[in-house]
Amino acid sequence: MPRASIFLIRTALLNLALGALIGGLLLADKGLHRWGWLWALRPGHVYIMLLGWTVQFACGVAIWILPRRDAEGGRGAMWPVWVLYGTLNSSVLLATLYAPCLGWFGAERIVWMLPLAALLAVTGIGAFLGHAWRRVRPFGVMTTKRNA
């Protein structure tokens, strides 16, 4: 398994644990009505579970399991996968912190956070598609190295 897939999958599992913790606390607060401040994390919880867990896990598994580019087992350049890793996790962090920061700093100071988070997410998915596109091909097609 490539190192990039290991990082993507492990970080996705950490996001799952964090998202489940936040979701569990939100669910408990529905009955207890003790932590009203916690509801500021609800939009971040959704973002953590959708992009931080689901998309990141799917991309990590796809990088590992998609067919190799050649008979020698090469996967191609891995820098787009690391771009995906950095931009996707930065996007999740910015989107998660947006609602709590909204109450602390006001909308005029952090108006840039959500558009930047969306731009980072789109950039990361574009980097993933750029890497994976060349590895998707019809079944049975494998390039071989010709012996001279």
pLDDT at 147 over 60: no
Average pLDDT over residues 107-126: 90
Q: What is the CA radius of gyration of the chain?
A: 19
pTM of model > 0.85: no
Average pLDDT over residues 86-115: 87
Task: State how far Cα 148 lies from the chain centre.
Answer: 44
Mean residue pLDDT of the chain comes to 87
CB 38 within 8 A of CB 103: no
**pLDDT per residue as tens digits for the range 25-84:** 999 988 888 877 788 889 899 999 999 999 999 999 999 998 776 666 778 888 999 999
How far, CA to CA in Å, does 35 sit from each of 21, 27, 56?
14, 11, 30
